[in-house]
Amino acid sequence: MNSLAQKNTRRGRPPKVNHDNHDTRAALIRSGVELLTEHGFFASGIDKILKKIGVPKGSFYHYFSSKEDFGREVIENYASYFAKKLDTHLLNVELDPIQRIGSFVEDAKAGIQKHHYKRGCLVGNLEQEVDVLPDGYRQLLTDIFIDWQHRIEVCLREAQQQQLLSTNANCALLAEFFWVGWEGAVSRARLTQSAQPLENFLNQYLAGLPR
């Protein structure tokens, strides 16, 4: 090693690398998902999010330009995570398409129980605040619901192909109805601290499918 390289070699703590910034940014988003899922947008102050992972307040704007920008990334991160969870169940060829919907609900029941009914659906929570959310959030939330509805619709169309659902069934409308009812069931489950509303919704939804 030449003398210049020796002078530039740092002893002790290794130099900070880009993945540190990435890790802190990811931790902030995870913390945001947790708090927004429990408390909504306005009740989730930046101070709480930063304190949870030990990041100085002045550092927040190194990663995000504003709370609005941060909130948008939190929402998109949650939507991506949730879409993958949906696919795990709705694309499971080991179950028939109707059973796949039930499998998703069972998984969601386990999740809400695990967190002691404190966490619901982040997108559903923000839907209730939509009139006071930043501009652009309304369309973002709408697009996410449409994406989720499409996944249910595809599953229902497969049920039609397998003759588990009437060929006259309007799968797009049934998929929309699923999410309208599901978000209400999640809110009731949190209110009553019971998974029974989720079970009741699933049973009535499946019973109402035209066979």
Say what the pLDDT of residue 54 is.
Answer: 84
20 falls within a domain: no
- Give the chain's domain count: 1
110 falls within a domain: yes
Say what the pLDDT of residue 120 is.
Answer: 86
Say what the pLDDT of residue 45 is.
Answer: 75
| The pTM of the whole model exceeds 0.75 | yes
pLDDT in tens, 87-115: 999 999 999 999 999 999 999 999 999 99
Say what the pLDDT of residue 15 is.
Answer: 34
Specify the CATH number for the domain of residue 166: 1.10.357.10
164 falls within a domain: yes
57 falls within a domain: no
Say what the pLDDT of residue 21 is.
Answer: 65
Say what the pLDDT of residue 13 is.
Answer: 38
Residues of the chain with pLDDT under 50: 1-19
51 falls within a domain: no
Q: Are 115 and 193 in contact (CB under 8 A)?
A: no
133 falls within a domain: yes
pLDDT in tens, 121-137: 999 989 988 998 888 99
3-state secondary structure of 190: helix
Q: Which residues of 58-68 are buried (b: 16+ CB within 10 A; e: fewer)?
A: eebeebbeebe
Q: Exposed (0-12), middle (13-18) or buried (19+): which is 201, by Cβ within 10 Å?
A: buried
Quote the domain boundaries for residue 81: 66-208
49 falls within a domain: no
Say what the pLDDT of residue 125 is.
Answer: 87
Say what the pLDDT of residue 191 is.
Answer: 94
112 falls within a domain: yes
Say what the pLDDT of residue 4 is.
Answer: 37
What single string gives the DSSP state of each residue in 97-147? HHHHHHHHHHHHHHHHHHTTT----HHHHHHTTGGGSPTTHHHHHHHHHHH
Q: Which residues contact 101 (CB under 8 A, 6 or more apart)?
A: 89, 90, 152, 155, 178, 202, 205, 206
